[in-house]
Amino acid sequence: MGEFSVFHWLVVLAIVLIFFGGRRIPEVMKGLGEGIRSFKDGMSGAANTAATAAATTVLAPSGLSAKSSKNCVTLSWGAASGATSYSVKRSATSGGPYALIASIAVTNYTDEGIAVGTYYYVVTSISAAGESANSIEVSGTAA
């Protein structure tokens, strides 16, 4: 029996069936095919196109500030070039996770009717290219 005899291939097939089961083999082969296709695209320069597209995404808003007052926090920030709207996000803990509280087209927002406490905010810019990274985090305390 040689290295690549029919018996060896049957043993390999039996091991694959034991570990993955008959229903998982098409999924494994599909994943393998997608991986090979992705590698070919990357080698042919498609990765350069994706990098160029990523470079044209909108920047995060700058200068985010928060002003605290009774039962509300007022946020304002500088406009981001190319942004068509902004997503305002809030968290009860520094660093998030943040929940979306508003999608607006202006560069200020008042978070009204909130309970007494400290809240943490970030804002992202939205454009045709997608959503930016989070802005810097600011905090505001509703009294």
What is the rounded CA–CA span in Å between residue 116 and residue 66?
15
Summarize the confidence of residues 59-63 as an average pLDDT: 92
Fold topology of 62-142: Immunoglobulin-like (2.60.40)
For the purposes of burial, counting CB atoms within 10 Å of the CB of 73, is it exposed (0-12), middle (13-18) or buried (19 or more)?
buried
Residue 104: how many other CB atoms lie within 10 Å: 13
Q: Which of 43-52, 85-94, 113-122 has the lowest mean pLDDT?
A: 43-52
Task: Identify the pLDDT of residue 19.
Answer: 75
Beta bridge partners of 131: 126
34 has a pLDDT exceeding 70: yes
In this prediction, residue 56 has a pLDDT band, given cuts at 50, 70 and 90, of low
Rounded to an integer, the average pLDDT of 24-36 is: 78
Q: Is residue 91 over pLDDT 80?
A: yes
Pairing of strands 99-104, 62-69: unpaired
The 10 Å Cβ neighbour count of residue 36 is 10
**What is residue 42's predicted lDDT score, i.e. its pLDDT?**
80
**Which residues contact residue 134 at a Cβ distance below 8 angstroms, ignoring those fewer than 6 apart?**
60, 89, 98, 122, 123, 124
Residue 141: its H or E element: strand 138-142
37 versus 123: the higher-pLDDT residue is 123
pLDDT > 70: percent of the chain: 89
What are the structural domain ranges in the chain?
6-55, 62-142
Average pLDDT over residues 77-88: 93
List Cβ neighbours of 122 (8 Å cut-off, separation of 6 or more).
64, 89, 96, 98, 134, 135, 136, 137, 138
Q: Average pLDDT in the 127-132 region?
A: 90
